[in-house]
């Protein structure tokens, strides 16, 4: 799960990055609106946490420009202005949620989970697909009722497919969800993670298939006659 944090307060940004990375999110950070606007033209994220008071380009302009480009990524706005007028204005401008500073990190994490589920059109916090269960709140997997042991990048890879059940996810999209902007995106590594995941799902009624030209897909299989 990849998040872009746009916040000019370095102390707050560093704390948020460390906190969210502990929760197994991949977090990229920029400190000005101009950099955010540039990055959002080329990079794909699952969520954007956007401060409004930014140098070079304000958060409202970043939000307006990305929406004008057709970018539908969920945006959670952070601001010190908690007035009703401000809240209504940001939501009307295309924000998906709003939090006033200071805030509790537990609430921020809950709002992140809600926005990600909503963008994936997932209603139930627990996704059940055959013998595979994924709890979007704890971000833990069960297979046949038992915990499924996964490395961080195996988990992230499976998470992408789980949130897109019924849809083939291109290899490039999976790769982008695994690596931060400071890392070299390795598309070839996706094949390795898919191979490992297939082995860990082996014997269950869930597998991962590759559709040539389309990407990877979670599929339920039926054993026996």
pLDDT digits (tens, 9 = 90+) for 156-190: 999 999 999 989 999 999 998 888 888 877 788 99
Domain ends where: 119, 134, 168? 119
What are 114-160's pLDDT values in tens digits?
999 888 888 889 999 999 999 999 999 999 999 999 998 999 999 99
Domain's final residue, options 101, 119, 137:
119
Measured CA to CA, the distance from residue 92 to residue 64 in angstroms comes to: 10
Q: How far is CA 157 from the centre of its chain?
A: 11
12 is in which domain, residue-wise?
2-119
Say whether both 199 and 215 belong to one domain.
Answer: yes
In a domain, 225, yes or no: no
């Amino acid at each position: 799960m990849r998040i872009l944090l746009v916040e000019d307060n370095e102390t707050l940004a560093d704390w948020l990055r460390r906190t969210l990375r502990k929760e197994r999110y991949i977090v990229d950070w920029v400190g000005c609106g101009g950099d955010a606007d540039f990055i959002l033209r080329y990079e794909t994220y699952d969520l954007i946490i956007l401060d409004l008071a930014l140098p070079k380009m304000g958060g409202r302009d970043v939000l307006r420009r990305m929406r004008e480009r057709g970018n539908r990524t969920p945006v959670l706005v952070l601001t010190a202005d908690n007035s009703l007028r401000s809240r209504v204005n940001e939501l009307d401008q295309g924000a998906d949620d709003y939090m006033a500073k200071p805030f509790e990190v537990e609430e921020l994490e809950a709002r992140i989970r809600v926005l990600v589920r909503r963008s994936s059109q997932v209603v139930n916090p627990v996704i059940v697909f055959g013998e595979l269960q994924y709890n979007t709140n704890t971000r833990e997997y069960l297979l046949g009722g038992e915990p499924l042991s996964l490395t961080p990048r195996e988990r992230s890879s499976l998470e992408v497919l789980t949130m897109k059940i019924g849809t083939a996810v291109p290899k490039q999209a999976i790769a982008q969800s695994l690596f931060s902007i400071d890392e070299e995106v390795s598309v070839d590594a996706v094949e390795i993670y898919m191979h490992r995941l297939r082995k860990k799902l082996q014997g269950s009624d869930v597998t991962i298939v590759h559709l040539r030209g389309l990407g990877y897909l979670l599929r339920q299989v039926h054993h026996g006659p």
